[in-house]
Amino acid sequence: MKKLLVTGTAIRGLPVVTLDGGEDVAEVRDLIYNPEAGRVLGLTLNKRGFLAGRRREVLPAEAIHAIGRDAVMIDDEDRLSPPEEAPDEVGAPPTGRDVTGNEVLTEGGASLGQVKDVVVLVGSNGEVVGYEIETASGGTGYIPLPNQLAVSGSALVVPDATQDFVEHDLVGLGAAVDDFRSRLGLK
């Protein structure tokens, strides 16, 4: 099945909207990403509106109903939690987790390019299914991710098969994710 995907850049700035109230209670400031797990663990937030500043609360992934193309949906405003009440990984995430700029190397030692952004599955609560990369030739490509990755902080290692699945756009990646995972013997 074709998957609908969205980049991390597109998620930043999305309104956080309550399902029951239809209110935009915050907007996404940034993603708290765990590259080993291939998951967004949570979101940091800004207040909603022009020139509004940072909101202290964070939004753990478990409290997210769905990340969409146009909004991040939550059940109600109580889902936002002060950092000290959130899991440590979200409330006080370790630094050095930013994969942007990391080199993508296959197990066979081929360099596919550098990570520009994460690609998130629309409708999930933060499942990262791929990366946007800048290829060696300077173009933009999209690669699917397996469930587990070796990540060093400067490079990440992907299966050799990834080479065959470098897509030119998100639509292509959406169609390729399942094929890629079944080729790796994942579901």
Partner 1 sequence: MSDRFTEAVGRRLVSRASAEELGNLSHLVVDVKRRQITSLVVGKGRKATVVDWDKVSGFGPDAVMVVDESALRSPEGDHEQAAAGGKLELLGKRTLSDMGNELGPVSDVVFDPEKGGLETLVIGDREVEASSLLGAGSYAVVVRAPADAGS
Find the part of the chain contacting partner 1 (CB under 8 A) among 9-17, 35-43, 51-59, 107-115: 9-17
Phi then psi dihedrals of residue 102, to 5 deg: -65, 145
Residue 24 binds partner 1 (CB under 8 A): yes
Please report how close the Cβ of residue 63 comes to partner 1 at its closest, in angstroms. Answer: 14
Residue 5 binds partner 1 (CB under 8 A): no
Whose Cβ is closer to partner 1: residue 48's or residue 183's? 48
Q: Which residues inside 113-172 make contact with partner 1, applying CB under 8 A?
A: 122-123
Whose Cβ is closer to partner 1: residue 68's or residue 91's? 68
The amino acid sitting at 26 is A
Whose Cβ is closer to partner 1: residue 73's or residue 99's? 73
Whose Cβ is closer to partner 1: residue 122's or residue 166's? 122
Residue 20 binds partner 1 (CB under 8 A): yes
The amino acid sitting at 162 is T
Residue 15 binds partner 1 (CB under 8 A): yes
Report the alpha-carbon distance of residue 118 to residue 114 in Å, rounded. Answer: 12
- Region at 123 (left for phi over 0; alpha for psi -120 to 50; beta for the rest): left
The number of residues that bind partner 1 (CB under 8 A) is: 22
Q: What single-letter DSSP state applies at residue 71? A: -
**Is 112:141 a contact under the CB 8 Å cutoff?**
yes
Please report how close the Cβ of residue 61 comes to partner 1 at its closest, in angstroms. Answer: 14
Please report how close the Cβ of residue 59 comes to partner 1 at its closest, in angstroms. Answer: 13
Report the alpha-carbon distance of residue 81 to residue 14 in Å, rounded. Answer: 18
Q: Which helix or strand (DSSP H or E) is residue 133 part of?
A: strand 128-134
Which residue in the block uniquely carries the two structure tokens 């066979």? 108
Binding to partner 1 by CB under 8 A, coded x per residue (else -) over 35-74, reads ------------------------------xxxxxxxxx-
What order of strands is seen across the sheet that includes strand 66-67? 54-60, 39-46, 24-34, 15-18, 72-74, 66-67
Q: How many helices (H) and strands (E) does the chain have?
A: 3, 13
Q: Which residues bind partner 1 (CB under 8 A)?
A: 4, 14-15, 17-24, 65-73, 122-123
